[in-house]
C-alpha cells in the first residue's frame, strides 16, 4: 500500500502543532514504519494566520471543522479541538458519517458521548482511536486494549492529572499551603481554563471512565465515577501522612466488584515506597492489573506538545498500518451498562483529628471507633502547644459507612475539635 494516508487536523493548539511537527520532521520514518506515506492535506483552527512555530501554509485551510472532517481528500479526521460537545462532536460525527476514521485527544467528548460515537463508527465500518486522551504520551490505551487483552482485568489505577500531582508534591517539598501552590501552578500555565477540571478531578475522571470501559467491557460511565478533588488537602495532612510512611495522591481506581463497577477519582494515601508513592511532579502513572499478568506499571509525561502528539501519531500509524481495533476493545453495540457499586470496597483509612487535652479523651475516641466496628492498626499522638493535640489513626479495613458513622459520633464526644479528616488508604 503506497497511497498516502491523508490527515485533516482540526485544532492547532499545542498538540496540533506537535502533530504537524512530527509529520514534517519524520516523513521518512513514518513512511517506513507505516508502509505508506503519512500526509497532512488540510487543517482548521480558530485563527488562520498566527505564528505557530510551524508552517501550515501548504495545507488546505477550512474555517469550519465540519467542512474539514468531510473533505474528499481526508482519510483520517484528527480532532484536537477539545470540548465535550459543540464543534468537536459535530465534526467527529460528520467525519464518521463521511466514512473517515477518527483520531482524537478529547477525553471529555468520549467520556460523555463515547458509546454513541463508537456505535456510529462501528456501523460505518470506521474506527475512533484516542490514545492521546489518556495519560498523554503513555501508550496505555494500547497496553490495556491489546497488550493485556488475554487477561481478565482486575483493577486499573492511575495518577492521570499531572497538575494535581504537581500541586501535591510541590506542597510537600516546599511546605506550602494548597492556595499558594495553586496560584503558582496557575501562573505557570499548568491549569485548564476552568481549573476545576484539574483540581476537581474531572479531567482525570474522564480518563478513568475510558480505561474502565476497555478494562471491564462496559459502557463508558463517567456519571458513575465518584469524584473528589484535591482542594481540601492540607499541608498538615501531607506532612502527617508522610510521617506514617504515605503520600497523598489524586488516585483513580476502577474495579469490578460483586456489588458492581466501582470507579473513584479521589485523594488516597499510598505507601511512600510504592511506584505511585514515588511519583513526583507532573508525571503520570497508570497501573494495570490482570489475572495472568499481575501488575503492570506505566510511567511517563501525561501532557505537553511532544508526548501528546506522540500518542496521536501512534493512532495515525496504526490506521496507516491497517490496525483496526474497536473503540473500547470490543464491539460497542454489545457493551453493557455496568451496575454502579454504590459504596466503595472496604479499605483502611487515615484519620486525623484534633483531640482536647482532657483525661480520658483518647479512651472516648477509641470507644467510638470500637462501637462503629473500626479497629485501629496504628495510632500516633503528637506533642502540642495548643490546647488540642493532633492525633493520627490508621485503621484496619473498614467501610465508608462505618467511617461516616464514627466521624459524626466523634464530633459528638465533646473531645474532638471539628470533624476528623478521613482519607482512604489504597492498597497498591
Name the minimum Å distance from CB 121 to a second copy.
15
Shortest reach from residue 405's CB to a second copy, in Å:
39
**Which cell numbers hold the place of 80?**
484536537
Of 232, 270, 235, 238, the C-alpha closest to 251 is 270
Quote the Cα angle for 340-257-208, to 5°. 60
Q: Angle at which helices 361-371 and 400-411 pack, to 10 degrees?
A: 150
Q: Which residues are catalytic?
A: 207
**What's the burial of 49, exposed, middle or buried (CB within 10 Å: 0-12/13-18/19+)?**
exposed
CB of 426 to a second copy, least distance (A): 18
Identify which of residues 267 and 302 has a Cβ nearer to a second copy in the complex.
Answer: 302
Q: Is residue 338 within 8 Å of residue 214, measured between CB atoms?
A: no
Nearest in space to 90 (alpha carbons), one of 102, 393, 428:
102
**Residue whose CB is less far from a second copy, 182 or 216:** 216
- Considering beta carbons, is residue 32 or 239 the nearer one to a second copy? 32
- The CB density around residue 359, as the number of other CB atoms within 10 Å, is 7
Q: Could you tell me if 343 and 399 are in contact, meaning their C-beta atoms sit under 8 angstroms apart?
A: yes
Overall size of the chain counted in residues = 428
Closer residue to a second copy, CB minimum distance, 134 or 233: 134
CB of 321 to a second copy, least distance (A): 6
- Write out the residues near a second copy by the rule CB under 8 A: 18, 22, 26, 29-30, 32-35, 131, 137-139, 142-143, 146-152, 217, 275, 278, 290-301, 304, 306-307, 309-314, 316-318, 321-326, 329-331, 334
Minimal distance in Å, beta carbon 310 to a second copy?
A: 4
Nearest CB to a second copy, comparing residues 35 and 414: 35
φ, ψ of residue 93 in degrees (nearest 5): -60, -40
Amino acid at each position: 500500500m503506497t497511497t498516502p494516508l491523508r490527515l485533516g487536523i482540526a485544532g492547532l493548539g499545542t498538540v496540533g502543532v506537535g502533530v504537524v511537527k512530527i509529520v514534517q520532521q519524520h516523513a521518512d520514518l513514518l513512511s517506513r514504519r507505516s508502509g505508506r506515506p503519512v500526509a497532512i492535506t488540510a487543517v482548521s483552527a480558530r485563527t488562520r494566520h498566527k505564528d505557530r512555530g510551524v508552517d501550515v501554509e501548504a495545507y488546505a485551510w477550512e474555517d469550519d471543522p465540519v467542512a474539514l472532517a468531510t473533505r474528499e481528500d481526508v482519510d483520517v479526521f484528527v480532532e484536537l479541538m477539545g470540548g465535550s460537545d459543540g464543534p468537536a462532536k459535530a465534526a467527529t460525527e460528520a467525519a464518521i458519517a463521511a466514512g473517515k476514521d477518527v483520531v482524537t485527544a478529547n477525553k471529555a467528548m468520549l467520556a460523555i458521548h463515547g458509546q454513541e460515537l463508537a456505535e456510529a463508527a462501528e456501523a460505518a465500518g470506521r474506527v475512533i482511536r484516542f490514545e492521546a486522551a489518556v495519560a498523554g504520551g503513555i501508550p496505555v490505551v494500547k497496553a490495556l486494549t491489546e497488550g493485556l487483552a488475554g487477561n481478565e482485568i482486575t483493577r486499573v489505577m492511575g495518577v492521570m492529572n499531572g497538575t494535581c500531582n504537581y500541586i501535591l508534591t510541590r506542597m510537600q517539598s516546599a511546605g506550602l499551603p494548597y492556595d499558594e501552590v495553586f496560584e503558582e501552578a496557575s501562573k505557570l500555565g499548568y491549569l485548564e481554563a476552568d481549573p476545576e477540571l484539574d483540581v476537581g478531578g474531572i479531567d482525570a475522571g474522564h480518563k478513568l471512565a475510558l480505561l474502565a470501559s476497555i478494562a471491564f467491557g462496559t459502557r463508558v460511565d463517567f456519571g458513575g465515577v465518584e469524584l473528589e478533588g484535591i482542594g481540601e488537602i492540607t499541608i498538615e495532612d501531607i506532612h502527617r501522612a508522610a510521617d506514617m510512611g504515605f503520600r497523598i495522591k489524586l488516585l483513580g481506581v476502577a474495579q469490578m466488584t460483586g456489588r458492581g463497577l466501582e470507579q473513584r477519582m479521589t485523594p488516597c494515601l499510598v505507601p511512600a515506597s510504592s511506584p505511585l508513592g514515588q511519583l513526583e511532579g507532573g508525571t503520570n502513572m497508570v497501573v494495570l492489573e490482570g489475572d495472568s499478568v499481575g501488575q503492570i506499571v506505566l510511567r511517563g509525561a501525561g501532557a505537553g506538545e511532544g508526548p501528546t502528539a506522540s500518542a496521536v501519531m501512534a493512532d495515525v500509524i496504526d490506521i496507516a498500518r491497517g490496525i483496526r481495533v474497536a473503540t473500547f476493545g470490543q464491539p460497542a453495540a454489545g457493551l453493557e451498562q455496568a451496575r454502579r457499586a454504590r459504596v466503595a470496597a472496604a479499605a483502611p483509612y487515615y484519620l486525623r483529628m484534633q483531640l482536647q487535652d482532657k483525661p480520658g479523651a483518647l479512651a472516648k475516641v477509641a470507644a467510638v471507633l470500637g462501637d462503629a466496628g473500626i479497629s485501629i492498626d496504628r495510632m500516633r499522638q503528637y506533642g502540642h502547644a495548643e490546647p488540642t493535640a493532633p492525633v493520627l489513626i490508621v485503621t484496619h479495613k473498614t467501610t465508608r459507612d462505618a467511617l461516616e458513622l464514627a466521624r459524626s459520633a466523634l464530633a459528638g464526644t465533646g473531645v474532638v475539635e471539628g470533624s476528623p479528616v478521613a482519607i482512604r488508604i489504597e492498597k497498591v
